[in-house]
Amino acid sequence: MPPAAVVVRDLTRRFGEFVAVDRVGFTVAEGEIFGFLGPNGAGKTTTIKMLAALLRPTSGQATVAGVDVARDPRGLRRRIGYMSQRFSLYPDLTVAENIELFAGLYDVTGERLEARRAWVLELAGLEGQERRLTGELPLGWKQRLALGCAVLHEPPVLFLDEPTSGVDPIARRGFWDLINAMAAAGTTVLVSTHYMEEAEYCNRVLLMSRGRLIALGSPAELRAGFDEPIFALRTDDAPRAVEALQHAPGVVEAAMFGREVHVVAREAAEAERSVPAALAAAPRGAIAFGGMRRVQPSLEDVFVSLVRRAGAATEA
């Protein structure tokens, strides 16, 4: 196994009586893409802010890139990159001025600055547009520029806090191509996201709910550990079908999944009997039943089920 880039033990953050992060612990290997997944308010951003020395832990320990987060926050900031969903750029500065600003913050000077400036401009696709105001750039270009500025000083660890929020799918996929290339070159990436397809790109995913770690593993491991049968149901009225199945015998959860309905059951045989009966007896008239088939759980199915078991809402 590669050496650890991040080691976290019993990390806790309280705001008065409210516990935002509750004794979370995990280890991240060098060069790993490590994802944080959870509902709103689960503690993902608070955890990342503590690891990036933007928020002091109430208790617990964390070491990032060999630096103790609580003891040496200034030293840590020179060893990490951080990019938030707002991209951390100054909209009233030009592209060149933003790069100069971050270079000054990270003491990148001389020939190294010239080389890194050229690299950032190429990464962002902004060669020849250095004088454009950053606030006027399309969202995808801002995103790539922000990423370039965050890693201008070539940090070994990069934190991304929902970096693709609001970005179109094509720009989002391109952004992940960049992340994969950085990880392949040895950068450790910790990223929070609420997009399930992005969680699939991670080597491992940490699932949080109500400030606690409730699952940790690769996407494949999390799916393999799902122990409830799932059926994909075909019907011409998915919203009504979901409503009708909420209290059907043997049905744990029913939710829309694309054009189908995914039904999580306690036992397969019981669900196969109760689902057609519940649709036939729907309050406002029978709902067409086009059959159902057993399917493998998606990461979204796992997410919804684990958060439900933890007793929290599943709004990501």
Going along the chain from its start, the domains and CATH numbers come out as 4-222 (3.40.50.300), 227-296 (3.30.70)
Rounded Cα distance between 278 and 256, Å, is 16
The pTM assigned to this predicted structure is: 0.87
The whole-chain average pLDDT of the chain stands at 91
- According to the model, what pLDDT value does residue 316 have? 45
Which residue type is seen at 193?
T
Comparison of pLDDT for 93 and 194, the residue scoring more? 93
Of the candidates 305, 84, 308, 298, the residue with the CA atom closest to the CA atom of residue 210: 308
For the sheet containing 33-37, what is the strand order? Answer: 80-83, 157-161, 188-192, 33-37, 204-209, 212-217
Question: SS3 for 304?
Answer: helix
Tokens, residue 68: 């103790």
Average pLDDT rounded to a whole number, residues 20-33: 97
Which residue type is seen at 154?
E
Residue 313 has pLDDT above 60, yes or no: no
Rounded Cα distance between 286 and 241, Å, is 10
Continuous H helices in the chain: 44-51, 73-77, 95-105, 110-124, 139-150, 169-184, 196-199, 219-224, 238-245, 268-280, 299-310
Average pLDDT rounded to a whole number, residues 300-310: 83
Residue 309 has pLDDT above 90, yes or no: no
Average pLDDT rounded to a whole number, residues 225-237: 91
Rounded Cα distance between 302 and 313, Å, is 14
pLDDT digits (tens, 9 = 90+) for 89-144: 999 999 999 999 999 999 999 999 999 999 999 999 999 999 999 999 988 889 89
Average pLDDT rounded to a whole number, residues 159-171: 82
Q: Which residues, at least 6 apart from 48, have a Cβ–Cβ distance to it below 8 Å? A: 36, 159, 161, 190, 192
CA 95, 100, 101 angle in degrees (round to 5)?
Answer: 100
Tokens, residue 225: 């550990």
Which residue type is seen at 100?
E
CA 164 to chain CA centroid, Å, is 9
Residue 173 has pLDDT above 90, yes or no: no
